[in-house]
Amino acid sequence: MIQFGMPTLIENKTLEDNISLCSSLGLKFIELNMNFPEYQVDELEQTDRLIELADKAGIYYTIHLDENLNIADFNRLVSEAYLETARRSIEVAKALLPLRDLYGDASQPLTLNMHMHHGIFITLPDRKVQMYDRDFDTYMKSFSVFREKCEEWIGDSDIMIAVENTDGFRDYEKKAIEFLLESPKFGLTWDIGHSKATGEKDVPFIMSHKDHLIHFHIHDGSEVPPRNHLALGDGEIDLKERLSLAEQTNARCVLETKTIDALKKTTIWLMEKWYE
């Protein structure tokens, strides 16, 4: 049975508010979002508090790394700061891992979700040039360091980093992701709403690597106009097909709507359409 959880919602001012909602909807986990000031790494390192609150509710956590995480930044001061953020976040995940064993599915690794940072581009009269494409060797050297360090930091812990699609992987990003996927510490997140809103441009790449799918962001969406983060049933996605793939790959699913009302509507859809 799929493990369903919820994202950190901006309407909820505190972790306690998120946990209360999670429990009331019968969900299994919360994906702690490091884009929020209250879930920066120094806050997450207060793991005793996080564990105590989750224990009372019978839930566990996954982690969504800061979307600005840019381990390939050409400024080494910046990239080193992001690497240190990743290291400390992995240590948090290690401390939270026993919650997964108590309240989740021990056959699924605990995940840290990450985006690929596109980097900057230079606009020429006839085209835009992505700097990571121009300096691809330098870009890949950063990912070599990142992969090696993450393998060292994770060690033998049952933790993986899942790379998420957003607005379409660039070609240089696909090469970097394939390099990461050579490591047993990395997998893929399929965000089905982002995928739909961008015309499913990432589907061929994702499906060619579907054996690496370990995490899904589930929300409805449409292509015209491009919309996502809709409640299930409010868009155009073949939700049962996507959920069936999540089940086949034993992937964990975040119901990634952005409002409380949409999340409630989504859980009702699951009860009526998925569990029927």
Tokens of 130: 């992505």
Yes or no: say if 172 and 117 are a contact pair by the CB < 8 Å rule.
Answer: no
CATH match for 4-274 among 3.20.20.150, 3.40.50.360, 3.50.50.60, 2.60.40.10: 3.20.20.150
pLDDT at 98: 98
What does the pLDDT look like over 84-142, one tens digit per residue?
A: 999 999 999 999 999 999 999 999 999 999 999 999 999 999 999 999 999 999 999 99
Q: What is the pTM of this model?
A: 0.96
pLDDT at 275: 85
Classified as helix, coil or strand, 155 is coil
Tokens of 146: 């990142």
* Residue carrying the six token digits 């690929």: 116
Yes or no: say if 221 and 237 are a contact pair by the CB < 8 Å rule.
Answer: yes
**Residue 150 main-chain phi, psi, to 5 deg:** -65, -40
Q: Which residues of 113-133 are buried (b: 16+ CB within 10 A; e: fewer)?
A: bbbbbbbeeeeeeeeeebbbb
Is residue 240 exposed (0-12), middle (13-18) or buried (19+ Cβ within 10 Å)? exposed
Q: Which residues pair with 216 in a beta bridge?
A: 190, 253
SS3 content of the chain, % helix, strand, coil (to 5): 45, 20, 35
**Residue 215 main-chain phi, psi, to 5 deg:** -155, 140
* Residue carrying the six token digits 């998420």: 164
Tokens of 124: 């020429």
Sequence-distant (6+) residues with CB within 8 A of 193 are 217, 218, 219, 220, 221, 228, 229, 230, 235, 237, 256
pLDDT at 276: 72
**Residue 61 main-chain phi, psi, to 5 deg:** -130, 150
Residues of the chain with pLDDT under 70: none
Amino acid at 259: T
Separation CA 113–CA 216 (nearest Å): 10
